[in-house]
Each structure stands twice: as C-alpha cells, then as structure tokens.
Amino acid sequence: MGCHIEDQWLDARFAYNLERNQYYSTTLLGRLGECNRSPDLSARILGVSSVDLFVPVLTFVFGEAQLEGNRAIVSYYRLSEPQRPELLPERLTKEAVHELGHTFGLRHCHNWECVMSSSHSVERLDIKSARFCDRCAQVVQSRLGVPRPDSLTP
C-alpha cells in the first residue's frame, strides 16, 4: 500500500456552472480516473481542487466521493474561512480522510469526534478529529484486508 502524487492536472472548466459560479463535483469525479495512468482496482484516486464545488441539492460541498467506489475529490476553496486559516492543512486532511472513508463504504457516523461525522461547516470540521472511531476503523481495516490487532497474537 502506498501513496503517490500524480503530476497530471485536470482542467475543471467542463464542470463549471455559470449560474452558480461553481463546479459540479460529481462531473469532476467522473473524469478523475483519466488522470490515473496505472489503473489498480484496489487503488483510490483523490482529487485535490482549489475550486468551489457543489452538488445540485446543496449550496456547496467540501468534497464528494463514490460510495464504495474508487474516486474522491476534495477542495480547499472554503477551508481557509472564516476563522483561523492556519488550520487549512488540518481541515483538508480531515475532509480527505472523510471522503476516502466513503469509498470504503462508510456512511456518516453519529460519533461527533469521528472523521466520518457529517460536517457542512468549517466549525464542525474543526471540532471533529482526523481519525475514524473504532467502529468505522474496523470497516476500513476489513476492506483493506488489514488484520485486526487481536488477530495478530500467535
């Protein structure tokens, strides 16, 4: 398991919505795979964007993912506002882990500290952690085929 950064850029203009002055994240998700030169079914592609993302039912989204799919996108457009812009890297990390969690089949979690708790505001992002709660972590570990600690004992 590893992580690498593709040097390819995806021009987001095709997903631009003139009326909303925003970019349709679902449309962007659909094209993300084209940046992946070595398609690996178990791999996840995370797009990191600077543009303002939306889906039709919401004013904006910080990111979007394919539930149990392999693509996720996050944007840092709204993550440096309104207060404490220095928290941007932490917020982006939380949002990235959250969207990747959806690709592992996780839905929103009721544990407010869990990274899978729903957060539609920067304030909500700031109070949750960047970690999965035990229950969510177990789901991700089983999807990744990582043995649980208790099964490592001889």
Check residue 53 for interaction with Zn ion (CB under 5 A): no
Residue 69 near residue 106 (C-beta atoms within 8 A): no
Check residue 133 for interaction with Zn ion (CB under 5 A): yes
Q: How far is the CB of 108 from Zn ion (least distance, A)?
A: 6
Check residue 109 for interaction with Zn ion (CB under 5 A): yes
What does each C-alpha distance from 1 to 22, 46, 87, 104, 134 come to in angstroms?
Answer: 34, 15, 28, 15, 21
Exposed e or buried b per residue across 82-99, where buried means at least 16 C-beta atoms within 10 angstroms of its C-beta: eeeeeeeeebbebbbbbb
Residue 134 near residue 124 (C-beta atoms within 8 A): no
Which residue number, 32 or 109, has a Cβ lying nearer to Zn ion?
A: 109
Strands 22-24 and 53-54: parallel
Active site residue 6: no
Q: Which stretch binds Zn ion (CB under 5 A): 37-45, 81-89, 106-114, 143-151?
A: 106-114
Which residue number, 88 or 133, has a Cβ lying nearer to Zn ion?
A: 133
Which residue number, 122 or 136, has a Cβ lying nearer to Zn ion?
A: 136
The binding site for Zn ion (CB under 5 A) comprises 109, 111, 114, 116, 133, 136
